[in-house]
Amino acid sequence: MPADRARLLLDCDPGHDDAVAIIVAAAFADVVGIVTVAGNAPLDRTTHNALVMRDLIGLDAPVHAGCERPLVAPPRHAGFVHGESGLDGAELPEPITPLDGTDGVEFIIDTCRSSEGVWLVPIGPLTNIGTAFRLAPDLPGRVAGVSLMGGGSFGNRSAVAEFNIWADPEAAAVVFDAYDPATPGSAAGPLIMAGLDVTHRFQVTPPRIAATRAVPGRLATTLADLFDFFTDTYLSRHDDGALDGAALHDPLAVLAVTHPELFGHVDRHVVVETRGEHTAGMTVIDERRLLERSDPNCRVLTTVDADAAFALVLDAVARCSTGG
Ligand code: RIB
Ligand code: CA
């Protein structure tokens, strides 16, 4: 493993786009561990799917199961997008390598304390990370940063709330507040947010699915089948012409760490709404040009070189193909 690779702890809820994020992280970073969270599907399913992906790409990293329900909100899933299994659409082998642990929060705390400079990359609800920050207030200052998929200036589960934040607003608020200069003892960050404003610019179009299918090996075929399913469920819920393919959200949180040159960004103050009847789970991004605005706590990604990013996805698939 080249010494200059970023060390990532991936916190995920596989999930089709989570599965791609695991492949991209394995190809371009040093994955120190995967922790699963309830989100796209219940914890038992997201954990099962993470174990499947680990074996499928031959990744040498521990998998720990995390929290099975949000801090306060009721458990809510996204079977209408990812299927009841959380990873519908392809023939997937049963996992062989056993789960490494069932206290994912403890694994996060222990890992970040024993090996400073790890990137936390949460790409599901922030329940595990928020719980870890609450139990270990020293953690935000010990990690290299947080690069999360979530939020945005618009929503997908409501007009204003994106799923990962909406599913556990209280946990998300802990994470964003931990890097807010207005919070006493807050950490410097960086907190990077790959929200819907950038992820909707990264779509799995039919030519990209065909390019995936053309990569030799079983992994590519499996991924292309997953893309077909993901695209169908995604586009079926949108106006005709709204998108050319499903938004491939989660890999961008990984690429923001491994390939930051692909992105445009602005630094903004962002807080999470936890109480609004119509706005709970909203990331409130302060875009005012007023000098009185709050100091930024978040690097909000705004653009991505989508062709270059998808070329890296294809490269990652090729690198992770075990020839199976
Ligand atoms: O809103 C998109 C996010 O919700 C992605 O992380 C997807 O995997 C789901 O978890
Ligand atoms: Ca996810």
Task: Tell me if 316 is assigned to some domain.
Answer: yes
Task: Tell me if 1 is assigned to some domain.
Answer: no
The three-state DSSP-derived secondary structure of the chain is CCCCCCEEEEEECCCHHHHHHHHHHHHHCEEEEEEECCCCCCHHHHHHHHHHHHHHHCCCCCEEECCCCCCCCCCCCCHHHHCCCCCCCCCCCCCCCCCCECCHHHHHHHHHHHCCCCEEEECCCCHHHHHHHHHCCCHHHHCCEEEEECCCCCCCCCCCECHHHHHCHHHHHHHHHHCCCCCCCCCCCCEEEECHHHHCCCEECHHHHHHHHCCCCHHHHHHHHHHHHHHHHHHCCCCCCCCCCEECCCHHHHHHHHCHHHEEEEEECEEECCCCCCCCCEEEECCCCCCCCCCCCEEEEEEECHHHHHHHHHHHHHHHCCCC
**How many folded domains does the chain comprise?**
1
Residue 3 banded pLDDT, cuts 50, 70, 90: low
pLDDT more than 90, % of the chain? 95
Q: Quick check: 154 and 199 in contact, CB under 8 A?
A: no
The per-residue pLDDT for range 9-19, each reduced to its tens digit, is: 999 999 999 99
Identify which of 13, 80, 166 to mutate to test ligand 1's pocket (most ligand atoms within 8 A of the CB). Answer: 13
Q: Which domain holds residue 309?
A: 7-320
pTM, to two decimals: 0.97
CA of 46 to the centre of ligand 2 (A): 10
The per-residue pLDDT for range 26-85, each reduced to its tens digit, is: 999 999 999 999 999 999 999 999 999 999 999 999 999 999 999 999 999 988 889 999
Task: Tell me if 2 is assigned to some domain.
Answer: no
The per-residue pLDDT for range 201-259, each reduced to its tens digit, is: 999 999 999 999 999 999 999 999 999 999 999 999 999 999 999 999 999 999 999 99
pLDDT of residue 323 exceeding 60: no
The per-residue pLDDT for range 277-314, each reduced to its tens digit, is: 999 999 999 999 999 999 999 999 999 999 999 999 99
Q: Confirm whether 249 is a catalytic residue.
A: yes
Q: Which is the catalytic residue, given 16, 249, 265, 269?
A: 249
For residue 220, the domain's CATH number is 3.90.245.10
The per-residue pLDDT for range 224-235, each reduced to its tens digit, is: 999 999 999 999
Copy the structure tokens of residue 117: 């400079």
**Ligand 1 atom index nearest CA of 162:** 1
- Tokens 């705390």: give the residue: 109
Q: Please tell me the residue having the least CA distance from ligand 1 atom 10.
A: 124
How high is the pLDDT of residue 324?
40
CA of 164 to the centre of ligand 1 (A): 6
Task: Tell me if 111 is assigned to some domain.
Answer: yes
- What is the arithmetic mean of pLDDT over 144-173? 98
Ligand showing the shortest atom-to-Cα distance for residue 149: 1
pLDDT more than 70, % of the chain? 98
pLDDT of residue 189 exceeding 90: no
Residues with a CB atom less than 6 Å from ligand 1: 13, 15, 17-18, 39-40, 78, 123-124, 149, 156, 162-164, 249-250
Task: Tell me if 223 is assigned to some domain.
Answer: yes
Nearest to 85 by CA among 123, 46, 124, 54: 46
How high is the pLDDT of residue 66?
98
Least reliable range by pLDDT among 39-48, 75-84, 118-127, 174-183: 75-84
Task: Tell me if 48 is assigned to some domain.
Answer: yes
Task: Tell me if 74 is assigned to some domain.
Answer: yes
